[in-house]
Structure 1
Amino acid sequence: MTRSVTIGELARALDARSWGDAALPVIGAAEPAATSPVGPDGGVIALAMAPKYAEALKPGSMAILAEGMDPEAYGLKAAIFAPRPRLLMAGLTRAFDAGPDIAPGIHPTAVVDASAVIGADTAIGPFVVIGPGVRIGAGARIGPHVSVGRNARIGDQALIHAGARIAHGVHAGDRLIVQSGAVIGGDGFSFVTPEESGIEEIRRTLGAREDIRQQHWTRIHSLGGVELGHDVEIGANATIDRGTIRATRVGDGTKIDNLVMLGHNVVVGRDCLLCSQVGVAGSSRIGDRVVLAGQVGVNDNIEIGDDVIAGGATKIFTRVPSGRVILGNPAVKMETQMEIQKAMRRLPRFAQQLAKLQETVTRLLEKA
C-alpha cells in the first residue's frame, strides 16, 4: 500500500514551512529530474536545495527548497522550505521508508528456544534461530536467516536485516539497526607463541631480526562480549569482535558503515561515524563524535581523542589529541599533509633543477 501524507502534514511533521497547495498528497520521494506534475492521487517530492538542482524539476511538481528560493520560478504546485534541507530530507525519507517486509509474530520456520524472552509486537521472520536465555525487546523486527546466540540482549525497536549474525553474550540497546551479513561478537584475532614471537621482537628492536625460528600460534580465547549502546547502526558485512576478558564497546548513537572491522577490546565512543572499510585494531580507544572516513586504519592499543576527524585512507599509528583533523600515511595534521602533497608535486621540477645545478658546478670545476 502506498503511503500518503499531504504537503501540510509533512511540513508540520518536519517542523518546516510550506508554500502552495498544502492539501496535495505526497506519496514518495524522487530526484528532481524524476518528478512529474502532481496527479489526482498525488505525486512525489524532490530535494532541490540549490538552483542547479531545481532547474531539473518538472512544472506542476513538488519540491523541498532552501529558504530564499522561488518556487514560482520553477512552476511548482507546492514546496516545503527548510534552512537545512538535508536534515529535512532525513525526516522525509524516514516518513516513507517502510523497511523490509517481515510479518508480525513468529514465523513457523523460526527456531526460538523455550527460555528466550520475546517482547510484545515483535516480528520474527523465516528460519531465524534464537538461542537460550536471549531477550528481545518490544517492537523488534528480525529478518530471515538471522541468528541470535545464547544470552544475547537486544533492546526495543530493533531492526535486524536478513542474514545478520549476533553471537552469544552480545548486549545491545534500543533502536539497534543491523544490516545484512554483519557479524557481531565473533572471536577476537588473538594468538600467542610459547617464546617471544617475531612480531614482539621487531616491536622491541624496531625492525632488527636476531634469530628467525619456527613458531606455533596458540589461541587466546575470547571470554568478553560486545556491548552496543542505544541508536547504534551496523552496516552490511561489518564485523565487531568480542573482547578477550572485558567487552568490546560501541557508544550511543554511533553509526558503523559497511565492511568496517572492530577488533577485540576496542572502545568506540558516542555519536561516531566509521565509514566503509575502516579497520580498528585490538584494544584501541576512540572518543566521542569521531569521524573516520573510508579505509582509515587504526593501530592497536592507541587512543583517539574526542571530535577527531580523519580523512580517507589515513593510517593512525600513534595517539591523536582531541579535536584534531588528520590525513595521510602516517597521519599528520591535515594542513601539514596538504603541504607535503604540494612539496611532492614539486619534486620532479626540483630534480631537474638539481641536475642542471650539478652540470653547472661540474663545468665550473673543470674550468678551475
Structure 2
Amino acid sequence: MAHTIREIAAALGAEAAGDLSLVVSRAAEPRAAGPDALALAMDPKYAGGLAEGQAQAALLWAGADWQGLGLKAAIFAPRGRLAMAGLTVLMDAGPEIAAGVHPMTVIHPEAVIGEGAAIGPFVTIGRGARIGAGARIASHVSIAEGARIGAQALLCQGVRIGARVTIGDRFIAQPGAVVGSDGFSFVTPEKSGVEEIRETLGERSEIRAQSWTRIHSLGAVTIGDDVELGANVCIDRGTIRDTVIGSGSKLDNLVHIGHNVQIGRDCLLCGQVGIAGSARIGDRVVLAGQCGVNDNIFVGDDVIAGGATKIFTNAPAGRVLLGYPAVKMESHVEIQKALRRLPRLAARVAEIEKAVTARLPEAE
C-alpha cells in the first residue's frame, strides 16, 4: 500500500519535514531500504545503515539531522515503537478476504451475519451464531452453535470458535486458535494418587490401579473487547461457569488457558504460557514465555513474571517474580549468585574437613 509522507505523518500524529509528497510503499530496515521504502531508524544507532541503503525517507528519532543523513523527507518519532505500531496498522492490509460471503461457505439459516462482513471459503457457521458488523473471517474457520462475535473481528485461517462462546468487538485470532474446547477435567471413583500426594506432600499409603472418569464442560468462554490471540492458542471452556478473558488482553502463540480461568484486563501472556484450571489472574499481569500458573491460585494486579517462572502460590499485586518455584526477583538474583558460588564453597569445606581431620588425635 502506497502512502505519501504527509499521509503517514498525519496518521501517526507526528511531525515531518522535507518533500511530504514523496510516496513510499513499504517499510524496511535502513540497510535494506530501497527508494520506495520508508527506512525505520528511530534511534541514532541505526543512522549508519541509512548510508548503506537507498532510502529517500525515514522514520527518525526526534531532533535528527535528516538532511545531514542525505534524506529527502523524514518523520520524527519521539517514541519509536509506538510510532511503529501506528505505521504497521497503516501498511498492513491483513489477509485478503473478498467482500460478502463466499459461495463455498456453509451458514446455518438461523445464524445472523452483521452488515459488511466478509467471509471466505470453507467457513461453517452454526445455528444461532451471531457475527458482528464488519467482521472478516478467513477460510476454514468454524463457528459453532450459539457463538457471539462482536464487530470488526478478524478470524484468520483455521480458527475454531466453540459453542456458546461470547466474544467482544475488535477481536483478532491468528491461524489455528481454538476458543471453547472442553476442559481437561477428570475424576477417579476413589481418592486418586494425585489427591493423596497433594494432601501429604509426597507420601503415599499404597499404589493401586485407578481409572479416570470424564467431567464434561457445561460452561463456555467469555472474551472482552480488543482481545488478540496468537497462532494455536487454546482456551478451554468452563466446567460450570465461563472461562473469562478480560478486555485488552493479548495472548501469544501456543498459550493454553485451562477451564474456569479468569484473566483480567490488559494482560500480556507470552508464548507457551500455561494457566491451570480455576486460576485467577488480575489486571495488567505480564507473564513472559513458558511461565506456568498453578490451578486454583490468584495472581494479583500488575504482577510481572520473567521467562519460565512457575507460580505455585498466590502472588500479591505488583510483585516481580522469577524462578522455579517463583520468588521475588531480587531473591532469585541472590539465589543464582549463591548457586554459582557453591562449587567454590564445597571445595573450601572439603579443605577445612581435611585440615580438621589431620589435626584430630588418632583413635587408640
- Match 1:65 to one of 54, 60, 67: 60
Q: Do the aligned partners of 1:270 and 1:289 also contact (CA within 8 Å) in 2?
A: yes
Give the corresponding residue for 1:153: 148
1:278 aligns with 2:273: yes
Deviations 1:322-361 (A, max 9, x none): 0010000000001110111111111111111111111211
Give the corresponding residue for 1:16: 14
Give the corresponding residue for 1:56: 49
- 4+ residue stretches of structure 1 with deviation over 3 A? none
- Match 1:206 to one of 189, 201, 210: 201
Q: Do the aligned partners of 1:59 and 1:74 also contact (CA within 8 Å) in 2?
A: no
Q: Do the aligned partners of 2:156 and 2:175 also contact (CA within 8 Å) in 1?
A: yes
1:221 aligns with 2:219: no
Q: Do the aligned partners of 1:146 and 1:161 also contact (CA within 8 Å) in 2?
A: yes
Counterparts of 1:290-305 in structure 2 under 5 Å?
290-305=285-300
1:289 aligns with 2:284: yes
Q: Which moved more, 1:55-64 or 1:209-218?
A: 55-64
3-state SS of paired residue (2:37): strand
Give the corresponding residue for 1:45: 38
Amino acid at match of 2:238: G
Q: Do the aligned partners of 1:59 and 1:76 also contact (CA within 8 Å) in 2?
A: no
3-state SS of paired residue (1:168): coil
Cα distance between partner residues in 2 of 1:352 and 1:165: 58
Give the corresponding residue for 1:27: 25
TM-score by length of 1: 0.96
Q: Which moved more, 1:198-207 or 1:303-312?
A: 198-207
Amino acid at match of 1:34: A
Deviations 1:189-246 (A, max 9, x none): 0011111111111111111001221111111110000000000001101100000000
1:103 aligns with 2:98: yes
Amino acid at match of 1:159: L
1:363 aligns with 2:358: yes
- CA positional deviation for 1:110: 0.4
Cα distance between partner residues in 2 of 1:49 and 1:142: 35
Counterparts of 1:158-237 in structure 2 under 5 Å?
158-237=153-232
- CA positional deviation for 1:68: 3.0
Q: Do the aligned partners of 1:238 and 1:259 also contact (CA within 8 Å) in 2?
A: yes
Give the corresponding residue for 1:93: 88
Give the corresponding residue for 1:328: 323
- CA positional deviation for 1:73: 2.9
State the Cα RMSD in Å: 1.2
Percentage of pairs with the same residue: 63
- CA positional deviation for 1:59: 5.3
- CA positional deviation for 1:266: 0.2
Cα distance between partner residues in 1 of 2:196 and 2:89: 53
Q: Do the aligned partners of 1:166 and 1:185 also contact (CA within 8 Å) in 2?
A: yes
Cα distance between partner residues in 2 of 1:194 and 1:358: 55
- CA positional deviation for 1:63: 1.2
Q: Do the aligned partners of 2:44 and 2:61 also contact (CA within 8 Å) in 1?
A: no
Q: Which moved more, 1:69-78 or 1:112-121?
A: 69-78
Cα distance between partner residues in 2 of 1:178 and 1:50: 32
Cα distance between partner residues in 2 of 1:321 and 1:156: 36
Q: Do the aligned partners of 2:30 and 2:55 also contact (CA within 8 Å) in 1?
A: no
Deviations 1:275-334 (A, max 9, x none): 000000000000000000000000000000000000000000000000010000000001
Q: Do the aligned partners of 2:42 and 2:77 also contact (CA within 8 Å) in 1?
A: no
Q: Which moved more, 1:211-220 or 1:257-266?
A: 211-220
Cα distance between partner residues in 1 of 2:168 and 2:33: 39
- CA positional deviation for 1:51: 2.2
Q: Do the aligned partners of 1:188 and 1:244 also contact (CA within 8 Å) in 2?
A: yes
TM-score by length of 2: 0.97
Amino acid at match of 2:31: A
**Runs of 5+ in structure 2 lacking a partner?**
none
Deviations 1:20-67 (A, max 9, x none): 11111121111111112x3xxxx2112212222121113552111111
- CA positional deviation for 1:366: 4.5
- CA positional deviation for 1:72: 2.4
1:267 aligns with 2:262: yes
Q: Do the aligned partners of 1:225 and 1:248 also contact (CA within 8 Å) in 2?
A: yes
3-state SS of paired residue (2:93): coil
